[in-house]
Amino acid sequence: MKNILITGGSGLLGKKITLLLERKGYEVAWLSRNPEKYKQKSFAWDVEKQSLDPEALQWSDGIIHLAGEGVADKRWSASRKTAILESRTQSTGLLYRAIQQSDKKPEVFVSASAVGFYGFQTGDDWVDESSPAGKDFLAQVVIAWEKEVEKMTDLGIRTVILRIGIVLDNKGGALVEMLKPPVTAPLGKGQQWMSWIAIDDLARMFHFSLENQPLSGIYNAVGPKPATNAELTEKAAKKVGKLFVSLGVPGFLLKLILGEMAQMVLGGNKVSSKKILEAGFSFRYPNLDEALEKIYNS
């Protein structure tokens, strides 16, 4: 296996995975609506028009599927909710039908998913891959998304689904948003669990999923030691020299500003990484202090 095709390759995680795979000797190409826009080798696709350059599948030996509208980019209007759902289900459906019609099929299909599967708030109990799904909007999105991904197994393709937690990086995502205010504070009571993973470890987990033939099915892509919102915020603030106050941002204010999306930051999950560890994956940054040190000081 040499050639890896990535959807969502121009995003934060996609770029990180691309660099890692190229260092490992892989050739990497992206699927893009505007392939001429990037220096990276790219093939054309258009999810809305349900079109995909068939040469992309002839070229690729494996696929990493990351594409999907950001769940925290905009307030959740009815149209935004539809875009969040359909960007995932329709892109996966397009890939499935294109692969089904192609005379060359990838050896492996590795897809992003989300710990949002378990619901906004699961309290202090550990949840793992066998835990039930939540009933809220994001849980329903993940259920529908994973259902589409699992169809790849019908084509005889080894399929891996990684339920991603809160990705820590200094170039975007949760950490950047948490540290935007001049004074940082917990969200709500701050005791909600944040099942995080350093972006370097997440990229390595995608590489691990590509290379390990026995790996298939669903795995939680989170570090082994989740932190509370207050703990993560305080430690990150200290790393960048920002003032932290322990008085939390009131939940009612967050709901007023964010609407339904506030449930994402006021709730939390204590998600287990035991299954991926037992499969042989080793975290380079299992502790929050180590992860933040790498992110901000290396």
pLDDT at 260: 78
Instruction: Tell me if 157 sits within 8 A of 60, measured CB to CB.
Output: no
pLDDT at 137: 94
Domains of the chain: 3-168+196-222+270-284 (3.40.50.720)
Q: What is the pTM of this model?
A: 0.95
Lowest mean pLDDT among 46-55, 171-180, 201-210, 257-266: 257-266
Of 220, 168, 223, nearest in space to 199 by CA = 168
- Give the whole-number percent of the chain exceeding pLDDT 90: 85
Instruction: Tell me if 178 sits within 8 A of 233, measured CB to CB.
Output: yes
Reply yes or no on whether the pLDDT at 180 is more than 90: no
Q: For residue range 1-44, list pLDDT tens digits in order.
A: 899 999 999 999 999 999 999 999 999 999 999 999 999 999 99
Confidence band of 209 (pLDDT split at 50, 70, 90): very high
Reply yes or no on whether the pLDDT at 97 is more than 90: yes
Instruction: Tell me if 32 sits within 8 A of 54, measured CB to CB.
Output: no
pLDDT at 115: 97
pLDDT at 123: 92
Distance, C-alpha 49 to centroid of its chain = 25
pLDDT at 73: 85
pLDDT at 257: 76
pLDDT at 207: 98
pLDDT at 246: 87
